[in-house]
A and B are shown apart, each in its own frame.
Chain A
């Protein structure tokens, strides 16, 4: 399944609806469904929030390969930003030192087993792979 979605937060509903259709059609477990949704939301919202001068649309694709779910997100006219290189949030910090935000890419790295990032000619391609029915750890 794939589609082009306008670069705006309200597109997220359409992105996650597409994911729901994919997960139902392929009989994914609740854990894998949550992981697919998290991978999509955390990357898509990051591109919407921080890629304001990018292209109008963002490409989102979901596919199954062997026992893997593969999520592909392509941002056109984008900055070079590798989500796999983002530092982890300090989740051991006490509540007084925690701030809302900064958790998205941390969560992404907990549920995606592979994050492949390519940036060529102002186009970012992020490929996320999750091996189904496996447990990721903190």
Chain B
């Protein structure tokens, strides 16, 4: 199960298993962003290359306008996937 929603502070909340079958649903949220956002991964159980691709495309788009995504509440094992992909170089992660 995968859910993508918006929290009380405007943060994007990812929950469950963000696999390749969920890319289209996530793109509808991330492709329309025009300002900086926090992405809360406290309840994210899993992400693979397809999900990372959605975040990468959104970050590139936002950076052109001086904005960015900030990734928060990463578990250590999900954080490893971000680091394997080199995302720690252009995402603020905590």
Contacts and interface: CB of A to CB of B under 8 A. Distances in A.
B43 to A, nearest CB: 13
A138 interface: yes
B interface, size bucket: 20 to 34
A94 B86 CA distance: 9
A94 B91 CA distance: 11
Contact of A12 (B19, B57, B84, B89): B19
A91 B75 contact: no
Chain A interface main SS type: helix
B74 interface: no
Given A103-B52, A107-B48, A95 B21 contact: no
A27 interface: no
B5 to A, nearest CB: 20
Contacts of A34: 46, 77-78, 80-81
Given A98-B60, A100-B56, A10 B21 contact: yes
Contact of A38 (B63, B75, B81): B81
Contacts of B77: 30-31, 34
A3 to B, nearest CB: 17
A110 B48 CA distance: 12
Contact of A16 (B19, B56, B81): B19
Given A30-B75, A103-B52, A95 B90 contact: yes
A12 B59 contact: no
Contacts of A42: 48-49
A131 interface: no
8 contacts: A31-B76, A34-B46, A38-B48, A41-B50, A42-B49, A95-B56, A98-B90, A138-B84
Interface of A: 9-10, 12-13, 16, 30-31, 33-34, 37-38, 41-42, 45, 89, 91-96, 98-101, 103-104, 106-107, 110-111, 136, 138
4 cross-chain pairs, A with B, having the tightest CB-CB distances, nearest first:
A91-B86, A100-B53, A103-B49, A104-B49
